[in-house]
């Protein structure tokens, strides 16, 4: 197979060389073979292998015409047909003209549309077949039956080869498109995974980091005047730091595991609201909770989005309005549940809080972006903005579980 490719590949890269070689080989064969044929065969039956000057001339002309088959297939077909007519009416039989017409019709049909190839085969068959009948050559090389048979066989083979080549090109094109599609899908999934991982890291870490920053500022301010309060603040720092490490290890562990080893523990939902509120109250947050009993059942993705929304909203309160009264309200509205987190205007900051603000609470805005992405992905809507009293409100509408509607 490799040897065949190594032989054919140069002619594919240089088609003109292949055509020229074909013409020269055919000229040599049709001149040399009759000369080497046994003398006893010259005159047997109606077919004569004796070369004549017109035979040599037609062979040379037909071979030279075939050298241009790839460049001008129409002209080659017309000229070889003319050479065939000359051979028929002149009664010359031992020359390249018959085979040249067959090769020319094959080359033409291989490079032109199917309809054009059939038309050319019909015209060529009628012209040469009519000439053969008119010249009375019912037998021999230019017999009517063999002429039509060879022309149409060459045309059929060329059309089949053309169809196969088109099918192979189509398969290659489909494979290329499929590969491009796979690469595009892979790039899109990588981008989606990056966003999802960034959102998860932000959700699980931002709250605890906010607590650490606030409480460390409080401890620094109170460590000399009120060591007991400073000790309590440091306890919150230590607890939050431990939670950050635990959750960070969990996220990184998921990234390092294969799919079969992924943890199956459920993501947090509104069922853990009490624990979430308690964690904020433990660091001094003033929170009022108004929820219906029983709690409305949300769709799974919406439940996770609701929990993360409350967590992120409360974290933002601690960052930008520590000490402000915050209200968490959950109620049902038709087929949706509304989850709202509203805080009042922040109180006058203490010395410790001013120290924390001096260190900088420059928000990146990614928290609100992450909330909006989660809510939209769960099929809900999100509204955020300041309130008339100087506070801030985050409200989302998320779909209820189908069985709870």
> With contact defined as beta carbons under 8 Å apart, do 129 and 86 qualify?
no
Nearest to 79 by CA among 53, 97, 52: 97
Q: What is the pLDDT of residue 327?
A: 93
3-state secondary structure of 304: helix
Return the pLDDT at 254. 59
Nearest to 297 by CA among 373, 391, 213, 405: 405
Give residue 338's pLDDT: 92
Q: What is the pLDDT of residue 264?
A: 47
Integer distance in angstroms from the first to the last C-alpha of the chain? 68
CA distance 108 to 72: 9
Helix axes 366-377, 300-320, angle to 10 degrees: 160
Q: Which residues fall within 8 angstroms of residue 92, CB to CB, at 6 or more apart?
A: 52, 54, 55, 58, 86
Instruction: pLDDT tens for the chain, 405 residues: list them.
Output: 454 455 455 555 656 666 677 777 877 777 777 666 655 454 455 555 677 788 788 888 888 888 888 888 888 889 988 888 888 877 777 778 888 888 889 988 888 888 888 888 888 888 888 777 777 644 444 454 577 788 888 889 988 988 888 888 888 888 888 888 888 887 887 777 777 766 666 666 766 677 777 777 777 777 777 777 777 777 777 777 777 777 677 666 656 655 444 444 456 788 888 888 888 887 778 899 999 888 888 888 888 888 888 888 888 888 788 788 999 999 988 788 899 999 988 876 554 444 444 444 445 556 777 788 888 888 889 999 999 988 999 999 998 876 555
* pTM listed for this prediction: 0.46
Range list of H helices, 321-365: 351-359
CB burial of 45-81 (b: ≥16 within 10 Å; e: otherwise) equals eeebbebeeebbebbbbbbebbbbbbeebeebbbbbb
Q: What span, in angstroms and rounded, lies between the C-alpha atoms of 180 and 76?
A: 42
Domain boundaries, the chain: 2-142, 270-405
Asked if the 270-405 domain carries CATH number 3.30.565.10, the reply is yes
Q: What is the pLDDT of residue 326?
A: 92
- Which 8-state DSSP code applies to residue 403? G
DSSP, collapsed to helix, strand or coil, labels residue 383 as strand
Q: What is the DSSP letter of 272?
A: G
Task: Please give the pLDDT value at position 257.
Answer: 58
């Amino acid at each position: 197979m490799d040897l065949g490719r190594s032989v054919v590949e140069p002619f594919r890269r240089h088609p003109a060389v292949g055509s020229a070689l074909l013409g020269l080989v055919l000229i040599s064969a049709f001149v040399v073979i009759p000369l080497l044929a046994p003398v006893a065969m010259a005159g047997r039956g109606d077919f004569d292998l004796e070369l004549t000057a017109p035979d040599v001339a037609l062979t040379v002309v037909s071979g030279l015409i075939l050298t241009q088959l790839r460049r001008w297939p129409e002209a080659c077909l017309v000229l070889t047909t003319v050479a065939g007519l000359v051979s028929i009416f002149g009664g010359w039989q031992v020359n390249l003209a018959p085979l040249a017409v067959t090769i020319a019709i094959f080359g033409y049909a291989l490079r032109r549309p199917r309809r054009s190839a059939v038309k050319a085969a019909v015209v060529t068959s009628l012209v040469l077949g009519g000439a053969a009948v008119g010249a009375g050559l019912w037998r021999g090389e230019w017999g009517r039956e063999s002429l039509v048979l060879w022309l149409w066989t060459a045309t059929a083979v060329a059309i089949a080869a053309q169809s196969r080549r088109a099918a192979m090109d189509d398969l290659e094109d489909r494979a290329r498109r499929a590969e491009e599609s796979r690469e595009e899908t892979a790039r899109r999934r990588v981008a989606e995974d990056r966003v999802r991982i960034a959102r998860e890291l932000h959700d699980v870490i931002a709250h605890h980091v906010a607590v650490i920053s606030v409480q460390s500022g409080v401890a620094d301010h109170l460590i000399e005047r009120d060591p007991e309060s400073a000790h309590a603040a440091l306890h919150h720092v230590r607890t939050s730091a431990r939670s950050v490490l635990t959750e960070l290890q969990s996220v990184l562990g998921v990234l390092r595991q294969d799919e079969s080893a992924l943890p199956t523990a459920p993501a947090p939902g509104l069922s853990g609201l009490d624990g979430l509120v308690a964690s904020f109250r433990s660091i001094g947050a003033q929170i009022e909770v108004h929820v219906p009993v029983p709690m409305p059942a949300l769709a799974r993705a919406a439940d996770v989005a609701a929990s993360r929304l409350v967590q992120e909203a409360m974290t933002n309160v601690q960052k930008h309005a520590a000490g402000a009264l915050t209200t968490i309200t959950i109620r049902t509205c038709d087929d949706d549940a509304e989850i709202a987190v509203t805080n009042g205007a922040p109180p006058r900051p203490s010395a410790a809080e001013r120290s924390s603000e001096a260190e900088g609470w420059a928000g990146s805005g990614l928290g609100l972006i992450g909330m909006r992405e989660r809510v939209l992905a769960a099929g809900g809507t999100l509204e955020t903005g300041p309130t008339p009293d100087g506070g801030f409100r985050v409200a989302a509408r998320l779909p209820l579980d189908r069985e709870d509607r």
